[in-house]
A and B are shown apart, each in its own frame.
Chain A
Amino acid sequence: MEIVKPLTQYLAALLLAPLLPGIINRVKAFFAGRRGQPVLQLYYDLYKLLQKAPVYSRTTTWVFRAGPVIGLAAILTSLAVLPFAGRPSFLAFDGDFIFLLYLLGLARFATVLAALDTGSAFEGMGASREMQFAVFAEPAFFLGLAALARVTGQTSLAGMFGVLTGDLWRTAAPVLALLTASFFIVLLAENSRVPADDPNTHLELTMIHEVMVLDHSGPELAYILYGAALKLWFFGALIACMVLPRHSGSWAGDTGLFLLAMAGVAAAVGVVESVIARLRLIKVPYMLITAFAFSTLALIFQMGR
């Protein structure tokens, strides 16, 4: 019986993740006064891509083909560790967030190598930027988790989110608010959203993540797009767990609220994308340093309490 709930949670994450980009796009369309693409657009895209035969450049090697597979596998594994609605998943252990951090690193490493394998200047550019931003995002994310560990006194994600209740928000609101802000900035940067990156831009020169996967096609592109949706789910779930400290005790109630919060996070991303202009590339590290500053402040606050 105990395996059923984690399994349901995991499957729900796998099935619902492609909804998030759909929600973001609809919110953006609403702000722009357009009708927008269907919410289920990514599902259609994935289905279509899986039917298509891939084309490989003669420059590429096995590295190019392995990239999307390893990237997706890493994200799938990380979702098996990530708590769902504040409840543990299949695997929950002390320091599991370190494992998650490095799984994301593995996905990035595989994607970057696959991009470099094409020998294209544009993809190299994207790869270089991806690695650059990771150098600023990872410390911010790490310090945020450290502060969260100190606030909750726990060393596993499920433990942290299990302890994170309304009472804690009442006593440590400033710290938790700072952390949520920091995680949100990291979400925007890691998932290549405005203002760090623009998934819809026309100019390859200014892209980061999208330009790295220009040469992928067919099922490999489907893997990449699906992996990106899952990654958005990953960060969204972290924030949803942060801002939704209520544990009603009923699994169905918690899950429902959690899904609503996920939709809310996606909508928030859409709003941010609509009201903020994209930063100049040179300023993206500044944004991530701001997230780092938020995490540091939260940690100092918590240490001095």
Chain B
Amino acid sequence: MLLVLLSIILLLASSALALFFSREPSRAQDAGAYGAVAASALGLWAAVRTLAAGSAETLSLPWSVPLGSLSFCLDPLSALFLVPVFLLTGLAAVYGVGYLRSYAGSKPLGLAWAAFNTLTAAMVLVFTAANAVLFLLGWELMAAASFLLVLFEHDKAQSRKAGFIYLAAGGAGALLLMAAFALLGAGSPLLDFASFRTPSGTAASAIFLLALGGFGLKAGFIPLHVWLPEAHPAAPSHVSAVMSGVMIKTGIYGLIRVLVFLGPWQEWWGWTLLAAGCVSCVLGALFALAQHELKRVLAYSSIENIGIILAAVGLGMVGAAHNADRLAALAFAGALLHVFNHSLFKGLLFMGAGAVLHGAGTAELDALGGLAKKMPRTALLFIAGAASACALPPFNGFAGEFLVYLGAFKGISSYPAVALAGVLAGLSLAVAGALAAAAFARAAGAAFLGEPRTERAAAAHPPDGLMLFSMYALGALCLAVCAAAPLLLVPLVSAVGAGFGGGFGAAAALEVPGPLVYISAGALLLAAVAAIAAVKRRSMFPAARTADVPTWDCGYAAPTARMQYGASSFAQPLTDFFQPVLRKLGQYPVIAEYFPGKASFSTEAQAVVYNAVYAPAAARIRDLAYRFSWLQHGRLQIYIMYIVVTLLGLLLWKL
């Protein structure tokens, strides 16, 4: 526990140092990155030790803030969330040094590093706080630091819009959480988590809904996701990796914690989570398919994965309501494993996208192509990350989803209600998996394969060694997690026990070992067969002729790069089919003559939920606010008068 506190202090100190060096970019980079890496190493050691031991450590320091206390707790659930935080921020810091180098002089790197390390410290605080005030403090610090990072390129209008939406979403979420914690902590003077009393039925449901809204706004499931696809692409890529990989998981973490405080779960909570999860994972994957920018594809894929995690938690809760503890244990373990896995592959993918942005200067899919020849290692790693994101064995994404599927199938041969939940969860995962495979094949294909579509893509340069190092590390972890899945048994079981209750931990200890062994057996078998097939292939024509011939374009003699299937055309059959949901905008050429001349075509993916729900609602609220604009005079005297009147009113009311 002390090590984790030490890492928080180290992070805050190094961010102060980075701010101090803001005039000298290279020193600021060093201060920030060394601090982040050292803190990661410390924290990782502490978190792994807690996971291996499977026990909780608590720490209370004297603090004289009303309603608060400096109480920390590091239990296996916190540790399971902390491991990816430290892993990813450490690697992202290494990556960031290479990535930000080109911004030296044009952007305030000292501020960026200060915000990055503060963000990390805030996340660690959120995952270890055992007091509501401390938790909310970390929560707000996290929102503020990441807000600064979203505005890193504030000269772009899109970044400013993203920053505003992000700020609004963060504010709304924090308000809901304050209400939730106020209700939870009624009767406990210090708002320590340990002193929360189990609320009664209706109050519990109200708290559940408040927490779902507050944490959901951070986790970003549909329909609370509108900030995510704006903010994640706007931040620098290593920050996007951290935001998508671990920061949104604070929402999942908070939700799980609150669920435990709420005592006996009501069945409809499970159904609510399941429904939100199913909708998010299918629509997230579908929206990812329609995006034209690489980082936006990844952002929507994060929504999909949050949906998978949420659906798994919901499935487990429905199962628990019907006393199907083994199903619940599998689903919960799958959810937690996917939390871990998603942070690895999403970190890798965002870093890959960052390498593309860094090397080609754009991440618009229709402007890329053929990058695999310019940056072969990035291509390899991105494709590995994409395969992970599609849950394809032998990569890690498969492991967590497999556990969830298994839970779903346990449910399918059970009572009708549980069976329905199992079918819904499994079916959504299957549909989302197929859509995600299409989305990632499209993204990887359009960016890395074929011929470059623009000169910028043709002139792309590979990322430097530091960036590659981080990506290699994450790629290796993606493979290792699936191959060495049985090693994860102890951490998973103890985290399930700590997060959801000891009964589920015991059930998980029975149910999880088998699947983990088979996952790794399957992955190793596949790797062995692939190795044999590759060696056999190599032995046939070791020095195969790579004659200088063009692609046989069905006899067409002069193919150009623009004739390739691009991102829009690849997705078109599916996006057309789902047009009622996607509502993409487009201009299609009309061919009316026998010899048509030049024509143009464009499609644009809409932010469907934002445009259909939030924008009209915001306009409505603004109109309402204008009606009260007469209150606003811009004169200090009148404002002071308002305050005096309010005070008097309160006084009179209390009399």
Contact = CB atoms under 8 A, between A and B. Distances in A.
A122 B533 CA distance: 28
Contacts of B631: none
A121 B346 CA distance: 30
B441 A116 contact: yes
Chain A interface residue number, banded: 35 or more
A119 B562 CA distance: 10
Contact of B525 (A69, A80, A108, A150): A80
B437 interface: yes
Interface stretch (B55-63, B143-151, B551-559): B551-559
B552 A214 contact: yes
Nearest to B540: A219
Contact of B518 (A72, A93, A138, A146): A93
Nearest to B553: A120
B426 A134 contact: no
Contact of B406 (A68, A94, A134): A94
B554 to A, nearest CB: 5
Contacts of A99: 393, 402, 518, 522
Interface string A99-135: 1011101101100110011111111110111011011
Interface in A204-253: 204, 214-215, 218-220, 223
Interface stretch (B82-90, B197-205, B542-550, B585-593): B542-550
A101 B401 CA distance: 12
A69 B537 contact: yes
B445 interface: yes
A55 B547 contact: yes
B549 A55 contact: yes
B412 interface: yes
A201 to B, nearest CB: 13
Interface stretch (B26-34, B155-163, B370-378): B370-378
A91 B522 contact: yes
B564 interface: yes
B577 interface: yes
Contact of A132 (B534, B547, B574): B574
A56 B525 contact: no
A153 interface: yes
A57 B419 contact: no
Interface in A35-83: 50, 53-63, 66, 68-70, 72-74, 76-77, 80-81
Contacts of A56: 544-547, 549
B574 A74 contact: no
B216 interface: no
Contacts of A103: 393, 526
Contacts, number: 253
Contacts of A95: 402, 405-406, 409, 515, 518
B427 A91 contact: no
Contact of B434 (A81, A138, A215): A138
A201 B406 CA distance: 41
Contacts of B373: 61
B626 interface: no
Given A119-B449, A132-B438, A150-B412, A53 B406 contact: no
B370 A128 contact: no
Interface residues of B, number: 84
B225 interface: no
A128 B569 contact: yes
A299 interface: yes
A149 interface: yes
A94 B438 contact: no
B570 A124 contact: yes
B450 A54 contact: no
A165 interface: no
Contact of B445 (A74, A101, A108, A116): A116
B366 interface: no
Contacts of B433: 102, 105, 138
Contacts of A169: none
A303 interface: yes
Contacts of B263: none
Contacts of A290: none
Contacts of B139: none
B410 to A, nearest CB: 7
Contacts of B431: 135, 138-139
Contacts of A123: 565
A214 B372 CA distance: 21
B543 to A, nearest CB: 9
Contact of B379 (A61, A81, A135, A155): A61
A121 B559 contact: yes
Contact of B437 (A117, A121, A131, A143): A131
Interface in B568-588: 569-574, 577
B551 A120 contact: yes
A139 B423 CA distance: 11
A109 B553 contact: no
A143 B427 contact: yes
B444 interface: yes
A53 to B, nearest CB: 5
Contacts of B391: 102, 105
Interface in B526-545: 526, 529-530, 532-534, 537, 540-541, 544-545
A185 B414 CA distance: 28
Contacts of A275: none
A26 B354 CA distance: 54
Contact of A303 (B419, B440, B529): B419
Nearest to A217: B552
B297 interface: no
A12 interface: no
B451 A127 contact: no
B16 interface: no
A69 B537 CA distance: 8
A129 B573 contact: yes
Contact of B449 (A73, A113, A214): A113
Interface in B271-316: none
B413 interface: yes
A121 B434 contact: no
Interface string B382-421: 0100010011110000100010011001101100100110
A223 B430 contact: no
B435 interface: yes
Nearest to A135: B434
Interface in B509-525: 514-515, 518, 521-522, 525
Interface centre among B391, B402, B435, B552 (most CB of A within 10 A): B552
A5 to B, nearest CB: 18
Interface string B432-463: 01110110111011101111000000000000
Interface centre among B412, B444, B548 (most CB of A within 10 A): B412
Contact of A116 (B420, B449, B571): B449
Given A63-B372, A105-B392, A118 B551 contact: yes
Nearest to A72: B533
Given A77-B522, A93-B518, A109 B441 contact: yes
A249 B488 CA distance: 41
A116 B565 contact: yes
Contacts of B435: 135
B563 interface: yes
A59 B450 contact: yes
A95 B423 CA distance: 14
B379 A303 contact: no
Contact of B430 (A72, A81, A101): A101
Interface centre among B383, B546, B565 (most CB of A within 10 A): B565
24 contacts: A58-B546, A60-B551, A62-B372, A63-B448, A80-B525, A91-B525, A93-B515, A105-B433, A106-B526, A108-B437, A109-B392, A109-B437, A113-B449, A120-B564, A127-B441, A127-B445, A127-B565, A131-B437, A139-B434, A142-B430, A143-B423, A146-B422, A146-B427, A153-B413
Q: Which 3 A-B pairs have the closest CB atoms?
A: A124-B565, A116-B445, A119-B450
Given A142-B426, A155-B409, A303-B419, 9 more contacts: A53-B544, A61-B379, A73-B533, A93-B518, A95-B409, A95-B515, A99-B518, A124-B450, A218-B544
